[in-house]
Chain A
Amino acid sequence: MTAPRTLFEKVWDGHIVVDSDPTLLYADLHLVHEVTSPQSFAGLNASGRKVRRPDLTVATVDHGIPTTGRALGIRDPLSKKQIDALVQNCLDHQITMFGLDDPRQGIVHVVGPEQGLTQPGLLIVCGDSHTSTHGAFGALAFGIGTTEVEHVLATQTIWQAKPQTMAVEVEGALPWGVAAKDLILGIIAQIGVSGGTRHVIEYRGQAIHDLTMEQRMTICNMSIEGGARAGMIAPDEVTIRYIEGRPFAPKGKRWDEAVETWESLVTDSDAVFDKVAGIDAARLVPHVSWGVNPAQTVPVTGQVPSPDSYDDPLQRDAAVRALEYMALRPGTPMFDIAVDHVFLGSCTNGRIEDLRAAAKVIEGRKVDSRVSAVVVPGSMQVKAQAEAEGLHDVFESAGFSWRDAGCSSCLAMNPDVIPSGERCASTSNRNYEGRQGRGARTHLVSPAMAAAAAVAGHFVDVREWEAS
């Protein structure tokens, strides 16, 4: 009889090539984008090696591409060189690429699930920390660096020290008007930005299984913001229904075999986690970040905290610096903070349900005249779906700019830079200093909260709006 195992341990065990510490693991799927891969391909080419499994590798462009005027080409010469390098590398190594002119192009973590490539039980790697997103399907998915990208290209394997396991038990049900984004921000506020270091988190409990796949992706996406190596959710009926019929999903007899395997991917009832945290979803309210890391958040009904509220001197110093960077005073009600920009998009909140949630809030309303608001769909497929539903009309008549897909203002590697000193309500994942542009001040929120802030010109409690 085998010992009881967690979901993570089952997936880990199934990928062991060399059973040592660290362990050599086999990667089922390698996602590639333009920013972290050029040096990997250069290294591969310099050593005369080939891509071992182009059929388990797929590329797209997302980080550095413009979201307007694509027909005119890439104007930034460095970004153009980087994108051209990926196009050439994919041609040379026969890697499928969803390029700028492909209707499937989009943010790598939106595209994988959308195309049905992301499936339960897979080991997925990508040179991007938000690879944790794919754990929403019960895959073990984590970000790697450029040297490791080269290693995976050459060997289809990766060395990993075995992480410890951490359960985040989410009880209760998310209240009406509270989003998956608020749940993950609440979890990070509780465990801290390094609470998950050296661990893989499994999100568990009824509240998690009540979530849609897109909501689960929002949760797993931000696991890295809690320091975790990966985040996972056990696959269930919701997962299986989501995958069925997608372009790269198994078909016929292989579908039945796959589903049978997926159904075994649950943590055994007597398996033990190395660490456990619990949160009551029913008590959550919409969150807004006030500082410069994703744990520095408060309920929208709250106030900017005082550095004195931190016991740890390092965290107190961090709060002092954060307040200075954000130009905020302790005690300021979050409702009183005015925003200059609203960014709706990213691998955290750029999917169709996110766009629907925001559109519902702004329908029949106008963006405040002092606010510049943009919607950047997570993929061109999300964009097409939104247009089929008429959401672009809702956004455009409210005064939002409707863009092409990409990472955009989440990390401002493309022209969508927030100017220094200006404040942005953003549905993205990181409120680090300079993340959206040097001197830009980011407040992380859910899509509905971002939409409401666009209309009001400052933060509001979207629960009151949705009730009216």
Chain B
Amino acid sequence: MKAVSTISGTMLPLDRADVDTDQIIPQQFLKRIERDGYGEFLFYNWAHTDDGTPSSDFIINDPARRGAKVLVAGPNFGCGSSREHAPWAIQQWGFEAVITPSAADIFRNNSSFSGLLVVELAQDAVNRLIELASSPSAEVRIDLESQTVTADGLEERFEFDPTAKERLLQGLDGVGVTLTHADTIAAHEATRAAHLPVTIEASHT
């Protein structure tokens, strides 16, 4: 995973509540076995008409928004399906961060592993950013180290899971970090009760 520390760039506002991961990346695009190739399908059903042509009235198709780095969205962003293809699609379109009043639990977790910075700010601050973002050139700066968001007339601190912060700042491989605890894992395994199930039938006698 690529390290993440500060993100500066323009915003794209999506002022809707409860945006589910089915909207972020619809099911017909989940059949790939690779981690890439999802960016062009971001918000596909909202971004395209029935015959597959881009809908001119959906903001993501506005050429002035093409270089946006921060998606500013309504509350409960990323609810529903656990598909990690959702943060992948957001990143592969070009976003590096999402700012929302609240993210759904699985989406927040998944993003922290795929290197998408998800920042939760109070609804008032998000409303202010959405207002600013009506101008395609308005910029925002997110500093993960100091956990602050700054934009024109706005400076907000945000909460962030300390372990996820470390992982993002250093671009760490999660498995590698956990395996430094291999002895502790083995010690826990040794205490597991004999009645716990195993999935291998041969050992089940």
Contact = CB atoms under 8 A, between A and B. Distances in A.
B82 A433 contact: no
29 contacts: A28-B192, A38-B33, A47-B175, A81-B31, A116-B197, A117-B199, A119-B196, A122-B197, A129-B80, A129-B82, A147-B84, A147-B113, A156-B189, A157-B181, A193-B18, A194-B76, A197-B102, A227-B76, A247-B201, A248-B199, A258-B193, A261-B195, A314-B15, A314-B16, A315-B17, A318-B18, A321-B16, A411-B81, A434-B22
Interface string B27-58: 11011111100000000010000100000000
Contacts of A54: 199-200
B178 A151 contact: yes
A324 interface: no
B124 interface: no
A146 B88 CA distance: 11
B16 A56 contact: no
A64 B31 contact: yes
Contacts of A193: 18, 76, 79
A372 interface: no
B197 A248 contact: yes
Contacts of B200: 54-55, 96
Interface of B: 15-18, 20, 22-23, 26-28, 30-35, 45, 50, 74-76, 79-85, 102, 104-106, 109-110, 113-114, 161-163, 173-175, 178-179, 181, 184-185, 188-189, 192-201, 203-204
B38 to A, nearest CB: 11
Interface in A1-42: 17-18, 20-22, 24, 26, 28-29, 35-36, 38-39, 42
A225 B106 CA distance: 12
Contacts of A57: 199
Contacts of B114: 145, 147
Interface in A250-299: 250, 254-255, 257-258, 261, 293
Interface residues of A, number: 88
A156 B197 contact: no
B204 to A, nearest CB: 7
Given A85-B33, A144-B109, A314-B16, 18 more contacts: A18-B184, A26-B192, A29-B197, A39-B84, A55-B203, A81-B31, A81-B33, A128-B81, A145-B113, A146-B84, A147-B113, A148-B113, A154-B178, A194-B104, A293-B18, A318-B17, A321-B16, A430-B81
A209 interface: no
Nearest to A29: B197
A49 interface: yes
Contacts of B106: 129, 142-145
A303 to B, nearest CB: 22
A360 to B, nearest CB: 32
Contacts of A78: 31-32
Contacts of B30: 35, 63, 413
B50 A420 contact: yes
A258 B110 contact: no
Contacts of B75: 194, 314
A155 B178 contact: yes
A438 interface: yes
B195 A197 contact: no
A82 B76 contact: no
A55 B198 contact: yes
A18 B196 contact: no
Residue from A20, A47, A413 with most neighbouring chain B CB atoms (10 Å): A413
A315 B16 CA distance: 9
Contacts of B22: 411, 430, 432-435
Nearest to B123: A314
Contacts of A198: 105
Contacts of A147: 84, 110, 113-114, 174
A177 interface: no
A119 B195 CA distance: 10
Nearest to A59: B199
Interface of A: 17-18, 20-22, 24, 26, 28-29, 35-36, 38-39, 42, 47, 49, 54-58, 63-64, 76, 78-79, 81-82, 85, 95-96, 116-117, 119, 122, 127-129, 142-148, 150-151, 154-157, 159, 161, 163, 193-194, 197-198, 224-225, 227, 229, 247-250, 254-255, 257-258, 261, 293, 314-315, 317-318, 321, 411-413, 420, 430, 432-435, 438-439
A435 B74 CA distance: 20
Contacts of A28: 192, 196-197
A122 B192 CA distance: 11
Nearest to A38: B33
A172 to B, nearest CB: 29
Residue from B32, B34, B114 with most neighbouring chain A CB atoms (10 Å): B32
Contacts of B35: 39, 42, 146
B185 A157 contact: yes
A376 to B, nearest CB: 16
Contacts of A261: 193, 195
Contacts of A439: 50
B20 A432 contact: yes
Nearest to B188: A17
A453 B9 CA distance: 51
Contact of A314 (B74, B109, B110, B194): B74
B16 A255 contact: no
A35 B31 CA distance: 7
A258 B181 CA distance: 28
A440 to B, nearest CB: 11
A64 B185 CA distance: 35
Contacts of B23: 432-434
B178 A157 contact: yes
A119 B104 contact: no
A254 B194 contact: yes
Nearest to B45: A434
B20 A293 contact: yes
A412 to B, nearest CB: 6
Contacts of B162: 21
